[in-house]
């Protein structure tokens, strides 16, 4: 049986008072996030009529909204945005954007399409600020003088007020869509007029293309203006640097001369000192070489005999004299053979020979003298040139020192000239190409007049209304289930309390309750037998020797459960004592013939002994102890009495002792009794048991360490529980009955 299987599990709260898990604990927290389809189905079944009502109301509301909604027409134009960027200050032509920046570029263009500046451009180009049809298509009244009274930011400026209003309306109804991985941007405008929607969509696209070109032209104009200013500054710097260079050249005596041939574009500096130094130095070098040659010649000739000098021998005059001398010598030899030395012929020839020798010596000496003079002249010229070189060298070094500053000024001038020429070239290029740049935006689709309204869409609206109704109904069911603390079923007991359920007692009408309890085959009798079986196997010790039956509040079936449980135990040939422990509202004495029978109160107070307060019950092995007389302070009496000793004494004569305790809430009586028994049964009314009160009662019991065996769910009405809960109905306990 279902109740058997549930009750067979061990109790969660041992005698030691270990706390049990509630919905705040881990078990309930995990259950909160588990998807239990059966629980969802049961919740839907329980709330089916509210769900139907909510969904129906949502559908009706959607239908009414659809009827009352003004039709809206959407016109769409499309523009293609190429991924190009014009280089203004560098002559590199169009450059494609890197893939990582492409999406950023396109997103920026979408923001440009949504910008206030473009909207103002469209408003001005189409004259929308004063177009009544534009306002009517958007369901807005055209502003007049009367509207300015509430517009404090537009004192008397109706045109500005209308312009800003038109811009706001245009941007509010304009939609720009950029599909993923596409450069085709859709421009959509929504209004109540199909013609106005198409007109505005096309105007936005056209003005965007024009503004894109205008931005490029404006960028070029700014660059030209910037370059013009930079060009003027560069010109001034160039002129000043040239003046400084010329002034310094004049002061330093440097002459600037333009290049020739391949170096025609280069400027050179002419220096008289340097030119003179070069020329004089070259002449001095020549003079030195000439002096060395003359000196060598003179040194070679100075100590040489006349006729051993090649230049003398090669002299034609000397050669002629030598020839004459040879002839005279030949004649002299012939005469010497014929005549003596004093012969006139001999003497004449000797005189001629002496004269010839004298002439040869004179010529030779003249040649040697000319070599010496040449050497002396070369040496004098060398000394003069060296002296001049020394003077020019000093002047050249001074001039080089002045050339350092000249080179600095010349480089400044060259730098200024290069900058000026570069700026002039770029300025001329921008001036020639201004306004001729290609546009990277083109119109692909022109917005056509829409024939069908985009909204309202009856089918879509009803579907959305249905989904909204479902969502609202789901929220309603969820909140209702979350805030619903009624214990209706075993699942509610275990889910909301975290304790096992020992028995499920069906609801029986009061007029037939006694009769059904007397019938061992009635559903309620079967339920209590199931409780007894589950209680027997709820622990390893079998059926508890002492137990108490409690509930959170009154009238939950606690007394009936205690009486029936005692009767069933006694029917199994076990001496059972049922004690009415409700000292405030006792009921057991009403079942006895002697309604004034003294009982538990007298025993606690020590006024009576056990034999005086125990009376036999209606069946064998069943004995009763009433709660009379009603004490003035039940809590004090229970707290001061030797309750443990009384239970120990009673346990000697009875196999089982059952206490019918008072409710837990607001009282301490049940807590006092609970700590002295082996097991505690907690009774919950399925028709009225509230989780809050039950949990509060259980917390109180847990604080004192009460050994809770489980929960008995009473007054369970399966006919009011839909879904799987009906499984716990009468048919289950009435198995085998004839129908």
Q: Among all chains, which residue has been given the structure tokens 């008397």?
A: 156
Helix (H) or strand (E) holding 100: helix 99-113
Q: Does 9 have pLDDT greater than 50?
A: no
pLDDT (mean) for 107-124: 92
pLDDT (mean) for 584-589: 89
Question: CA-to-CA distance for 79 and 183, rounded, in angstroms?
Answer: 8
Positive or negative: CA dihedral 682, 683, 686, 687: negative
CA proximity to 680, closest of 85, 13, 5, 189: 13
Bigger pLDDT: 428 vs 21: 428
User: Over the range 442-461, which residues count as b (16 or more CB within 10 Å of their CB) and which as e?
Assistant: ebebebeebeebeebeeeeb
pLDDT of residue 27: 43
Please tell me the pTM assigned to this model. 0.46
pLDDT tens for each residue of 183-230: 899 999 999 999 999 999 999 999 999 888 777 766 667 677 777 888
pLDDT (mean) for 232-237: 84
Question: CA-to-CA distance for 717 and 488, rounded, in angstroms?
Answer: 9
Q: Does 659 have pLDDT greater than 90?
A: yes
What percent of the chain lies above the pLDDT cut of 70? 78
Positive or negative: CA dihedral 701, 703, 705, 707: positive
Bigger pLDDT: 606 vs 486: 606
Question: Which residues lie closer than 8 Å to 408 by C-beta, 6 or more apart?
Answer: none
Bigger pLDDT: 118 vs 222: 118
Counting every residue written for the chain, the total comes to 739
pLDDT (mean) for 323-330: 79
Question: CA-to-CA distance for 549 and 528, rounded, in angstroms?
Answer: 13
pLDDT (mean) for 296-318: 72
Q: Does 725 have pLDDT greater than 70?
A: no
pLDDT of residue 24: 43
For the chain, the average pLDDT equals 78
Question: CA-to-CA distance for 424 and 431, rounded, in angstroms?
Answer: 10
pLDDT of residue 719: 64
| Residues 205, 75 contacting (CB under 8 angstroms) | no
Bigger pLDDT: 400 vs 344: 344
pLDDT of residue 346: 76
CA proximity to 536, closest of 709, 392, 353: 709
Which of 545-554, 665-674, 685-694 shows the lowest per-residue confidence on average (mean pLDDT)? 685-694
337 three-state secondary structure: helix
Q: Does 501 have pLDDT greater than 90?
A: no
CA proximity to 616, closest of 581, 647, 587, 592: 592
Question: CA-to-CA distance for 142 and 132, rounded, in angstroms?
Answer: 6
Q: Does 132 have pLDDT greater than 70?
A: yes
| Residues 167, 123 contacting (CB under 8 angstroms) | yes
HSE-up (13 A, CA, CB side) for residue 515: 5
Question: CA-to-CA distance for 8 and 531, rounded, in angstroms?
Answer: 10
| Residues 79, 182 contacting (CB under 8 angstroms) | no
């Amino acid at each position: 049986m279902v109740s058997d299987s549930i009750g067979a599990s061990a109790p969660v709260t041992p005698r030691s008072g270990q706390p049990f898990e509630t919905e705040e604990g881990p078990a309930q927290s995990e259950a909160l996030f588990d998807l239990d389809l059966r629980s969802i189905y049961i919740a839907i079944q329980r709330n089916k009529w509210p769900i139907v009502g909510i969904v129906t109301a949502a559908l009706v509301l959607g239908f009414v909204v659809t009827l009352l909604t003004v039709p809206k027409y959407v016109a769409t134009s499309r523009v293609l945005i190429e991924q190009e960027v014009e280089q203004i200050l560098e002559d590199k032509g169009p450059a494609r954007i890197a893939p990582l920046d492409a999406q950023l570029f396109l997103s920026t263009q979408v923001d440009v399409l949504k910008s206030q500046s473009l909207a103002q451009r469209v408003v001005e180009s189409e004259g929308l600020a004063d177009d009544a049809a534009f306002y009517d298509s958007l369901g807005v009244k055209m502003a007049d003088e009367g509207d300015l009274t509430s517009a404090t930011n537009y004192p008397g400026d109706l045109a500005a007020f209308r312009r800003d209003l038109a811009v706001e309306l245009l941007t509010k109804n304009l939609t720009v869509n950029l599909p993923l991985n596409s450069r085709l941007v859709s421009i959509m405008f929504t209004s109540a007029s199909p013609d106005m929607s198409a007109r505005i969509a096309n105007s936005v696209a056209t003005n965007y293309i024009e503004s894109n070109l205008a931005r490029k032209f404006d960028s070029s104009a700014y660059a030209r203006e910037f370059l013009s200013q930079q060009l003027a500054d560069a010109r001034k710097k160039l002129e000043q640097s040239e003046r400084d260079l010329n002034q310094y050249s004049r002061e330093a005596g440097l002459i600037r001369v333009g290049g020739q041939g391949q170096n025609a574009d280069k400027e050179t500096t002419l220096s008289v000192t340097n030119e003179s130094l070069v020329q004089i130095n070259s002449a001095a070098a020549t003079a030195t070489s000439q002096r060395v040659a003359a000196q060598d010649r003179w040194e070679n000739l100075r100590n040489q005999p006349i006729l051993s000098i090649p230049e003398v021998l090669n002299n034609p005059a000397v050669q002629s004299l030598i020839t004459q001398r040879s002839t005279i010598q030949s004649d002299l030899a012939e005469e010497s053979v014929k005549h003596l030395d004093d012969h006139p012929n001999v003497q004449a020839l000797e005189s001629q020979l002496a004269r010839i020798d004298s002439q040869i010596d004179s010529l030779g000496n003249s040649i040697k003298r000319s070599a010496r003079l040449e050497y002396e002249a070369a040496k004098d010229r060398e000394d003069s040139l060296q002296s001049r070189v020394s003077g020019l060298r000093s002047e050249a070094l001074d001039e080089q020192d002045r050339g350092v500053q000249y080179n600095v000024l010349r480089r400044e001038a060259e730098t200024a000239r290069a900058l000026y020429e570069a700026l002039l070239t770029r300025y001329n290029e921008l001036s020639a190409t201004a306004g001729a740049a290609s546009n990277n935006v083109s119109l692909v689709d022109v917005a056509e007049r829409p024939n069908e309204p985009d909204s309202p869409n009856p089918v879509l609206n009803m579907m959305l209304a249905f989904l909204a109704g479902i969502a609202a109904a789901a929220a309603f069911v969820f909140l209702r289930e979350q805030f619903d603390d009624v214990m209706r079923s075993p699942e509610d007991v275990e889910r909301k309390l975290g304790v096992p359920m020992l028995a499920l007692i069906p609801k029986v009408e009061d007029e037939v309750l006694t009769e059904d309890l007397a019938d061992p085959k009635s559903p309620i009798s079967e339920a209590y037998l199931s409780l007894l079986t589950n209680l027997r196997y709820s622990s390893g010790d079998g059926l508890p020797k002492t137990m108490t039956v409690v509930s959170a509040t009154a009238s939950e079936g606690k007394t009936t459960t205690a009486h029936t449980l005692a009767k069933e135990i006694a029917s199994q040939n076990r001496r059972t004592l049922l004690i009415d422990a409700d000292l405030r509202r006792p009921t057991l004495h009403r079942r006895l013939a002697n309604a004034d029978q003294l009982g538990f109160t007298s025993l606690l107070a020590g006024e009576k002994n056990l034999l005086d307060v125990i009376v036999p019950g209606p069946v064998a092995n069943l004995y009763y102890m009433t709660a009379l007389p009603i004490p003035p302070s039940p809590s004090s009496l229970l707290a001061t009495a030797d309750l443990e000793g009384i239970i120990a004494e009673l346990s000697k004569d009875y196999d089982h002792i059952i206490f019918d305790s008072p409710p837990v809430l607001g009282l301490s009586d049940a807590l006092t009794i609970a700590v002295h028994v082996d097991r505690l049964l907690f009774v919950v009314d399925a028709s009225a048991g509230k989780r809050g009160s039950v949990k509060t009662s259980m917390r109180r019991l847990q604080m004192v360490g009460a050994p809770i065996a489980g929960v008995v769910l009473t007054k369970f009405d399966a006919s009011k529980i839909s879904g799987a809960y009906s499984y716990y109905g009468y048919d289950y306990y009435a198995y085998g009955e004839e129908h």
